[in-house]
Amino acid sequence: MFNAIVSADTLRTALDSVSVLVEECKLRLEEDGLEIRAVDPANVGMVDLSLSAAAFESYETDGGVIGVNLSRLEDIAGMAEADQLIHLELDEETRKLEIAIDGLEYTLALIDPDSIRQEPDLPDLDLAAEIILEGRDVNRAVKASDMVSDHIALGVDEAEDMFYVDAEGDTDDVHFELGREDLIDLTAGPARSLFSLDYLKDMNKAIPSDAEVRMELGEEFPVKMHFDIAEGQGTVTYMLAPRVQSD
């Protein structure tokens, strides 16, 4: 059983943060909220999302897993105004999701969850540095780097006590520094890893500019980026494998 009402804005934000990586995913219906974990087909980028029951106007379930085509669901959610409510109800018999937006009813065929790529375990990484910064600074770094290159180095300069971004292109370079005073917080440690901008650009799209992003970084290790959505009632974690230079 699943029956929930949620604002279009909240649902769209949640779906967008997943759809930048995958086309279909499993929604885990937990008693205290909705959870999605998905990894892209190349096994390079991963998203872990939870949206607490408090983010919904109403939320009832006795548990279960459903598989959805994200772009379909996003299209339907896109039919609503930002402040309109979307009613989601699982029809147990037909295994379809009934979606209602102010008189508009849409019956969405679900996907067999077993046919969707198995979500991985979150690797347990011990990352030496932690940077807390504003979403808009992530955006600036990604946008500027994208002008010159297809990849970006993220690092922490322990001696200077700062977080930096480097992008090297054919001829042009971008360097961006954020000292302790420009950051919300910094735990310095040895960290520098190179990442594909293709992935970071997609992830960046889902990071609100006013979000507080907690970034965990190591040396040639995946980066983790955590931020809140839905006024703190939901959290998103992105994890991205690096491009390695040592092999």
Partner 1 sequence: MRLDDYIEGFERDEAAHKRRLAKEKSYAITDHLEDVERQLEETLSGDALFGSTAPEIFVGRSGYPQVNSGVLSPVTDDHDPTDFATSGNWYADGLGIEDVLQRRTGLLNSQRSAKVDVEDVWDGFVGTQREVAIADQPVDVELGLDSTPEIDLSVDDISTPTGPRARAESADLAENPHVPRPVKKTLSDDDWRAEGAMTYLYRKGFDVYDVNTILSAGALGQGANRRLVPTRWSITAVDDTVGQYLRGQIRNAPSIDETQVWYNEYMGNKYWIVLSPGNWEFELVEMKAPESVWNPVGEAHYLASAHEGYEGRTSYVDETAGAYYASRLGVLEHLTDIGRQAKCLVLREVTDDYWAPVGVWQVREGVRNAFDDPGGLPDDIAGRYGVAETFREAVTGVAEQLPVSLGALRRKSEMVAGLQAQLSDF
Binding residues vs partner 1 (CB under 8 A): 39-46, 120, 123, 125, 150-151, 168-171, 194, 196, 198, 221-222, 239, 241-247
Minimum CB separation of residue 153 from partner 1 in Å reads: 9
Which residue type occupies 99? I
Nearer to partner 1, 67 or 169 (CB): 169
Minimum CB separation of residue 124 from partner 1 in Å reads: 9
Which residues does residue 117 pair with via DSSP β-bridges, in sequence order?
A: none
Minimum CB separation of residue 39 from partner 1 in Å reads: 7
Minimum CB separation of residue 202 from partner 1 in Å reads: 12
Nearer to partner 1, 44 or 206 (CB): 44
Distant-in-sequence, close-in-space partners of 162: CB < 8 Å, separation ≥ 6: 156, 177, 178, 179, 180, 186
Nearer to partner 1, 76 or 116 (CB): 116
Distant-in-sequence, close-in-space partners of 169: CB < 8 Å, separation ≥ 6: 147, 148, 149
Structural contact between residues 121 and 108, judged by C-beta atoms closer than 8 angstroms: no
Q: How many CA atoms lie within 13 A of 70 on its CB side?
A: 20
Nearer to partner 1, 58 or 245 (CB): 245
